[in-house]
């Protein structure tokens, strides 16, 4: 498929590394002007340079603000008043015993994983609706459906994103704006290799190690390996394009078959 996003501006929250950076690269490669976001100027500049070196002629805007705060979203809106594509990728995760997660930690996870996305959508959706075209995506997780006992606070925050996505899709009904969530499965991102080698034989080559990890610890996966960030980015780029004009209010899976369901 030929995806041309020339003339479109895309803001990807939390896009200095991992899935977010892969999405920014994918959108830039399709011709979109990309707004790279992170809290630290050094990290944002490094990600922007990665995109410029990988996609010759890429138009990249550096947005070093803490998007997880009300002040950060207000600053983002001031610096980038309108976007055509909004990808809510920012998120935190961490393992902790269910009964040990404090109120403060619950609030933090909802503030970063849910409310940041709500604020950004509230900030940018009205102009999309007025223009009659726009794309909003939320990067969710298989944990939204298969709640992990070792981090239920993370899983519940991702479950909330599915409801947020469906609700805003209804708010944008009939306007030409689509709103979807993307359910990402176990992904090969920063730190994952160290985590894998904590659980399998350290002498194994990486390809064998990850397959052993998946066999022992993520046996539900039908592809038997970790997903590469670019594979998630491919779906987001499609959803961000005119080709996905009839897909809205959906929770679309790119999980390697991890979620045991015949429904999307």
- In this structure, the strands spanning 177-184 and 9-12 are unpaired
Alpha-carbon distances of 8 from 77, 82, 191, 211, rounded to whole Å: 17, 10, 33, 39
Whether the Cβ atoms of residue 133 and residue 176 lie closer than 8 Å to each other: yes
Is 154 assigned a catalytic role? Answer: yes
DSSP state of 95: -
Of the candidates 31, 29, 1, 26, the residue with the CA atom closest to the CA atom of residue 12: 26
Q: Which of 124, 154, 197, 238 is catalytic?
A: 154
**Distance, CA of 193 to CA of 127 (rounded, Å):** 41
Of the candidates 157, 115, 139, the residue with the CA atom closest to the CA atom of residue 240: 139
Alpha-carbon distances of 4 from 31, 135, 174, 243, rounded to whole Å: 6, 14, 23, 10
DSSP state of 226: P
Q: Count H helices, E strands: the chain?
A: 9, 7
Which residue bears the tokens 């990249």?
60
Catalytic residues: 154
């Amino acid at each position: 498929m030929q995806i041309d996003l020339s003339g479109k501006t895309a803001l990807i929250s939390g896009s200095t590394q991992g899935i977010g950076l892969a999405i920014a690269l994918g959108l830039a490669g399709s011709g979109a002007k990309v707004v790279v976001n992170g809290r630290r100027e050094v990290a944002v500049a490094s990600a922007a340079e990665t995109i410029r070196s990988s996609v010759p002629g890429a138009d990249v805007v550096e947005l070093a603000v803490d998007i997880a705060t009300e002040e950060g979203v207000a600053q983002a809106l001031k610096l980038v008043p309108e976007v055509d594509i909004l990808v809510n990728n920012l998120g935190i995760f961490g393992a902790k015993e269910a009964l040990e997660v404090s109120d403060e930690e619950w609030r933090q996870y909802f503030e970063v994983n849910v409310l940041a996305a709500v604020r950004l959508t509230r900030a940018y959706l009205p102009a999309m609706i007025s223009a009659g075209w726009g794309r909003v995506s939320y990067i969710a997780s298989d944990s939204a459906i298969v709640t992990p006992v070792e981090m239920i606070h993370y899983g519940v925050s991702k479950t909330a994103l599915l409801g947020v996505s469906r609700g805003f899709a209804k708010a944008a009904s009939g306007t030409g704006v689509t709103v979807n969530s993307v359910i990402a499965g176990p992904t090969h991102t920063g730190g994952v290799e160290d985590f894998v080698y904590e659980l399998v034989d350290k002498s194994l080559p990486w390809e064998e190690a990850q397959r052993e990890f998946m066999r022992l610890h993520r046996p539900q996966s039908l592809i038997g390996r970790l997903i590469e960030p670019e594979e998630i980015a491919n779906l987001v780029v499609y959803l961000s394009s005119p080709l996905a004009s009839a897909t809205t209010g959906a929770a679309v899976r790119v999980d390697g078959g991890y979620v045991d369901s015949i429904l999307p």
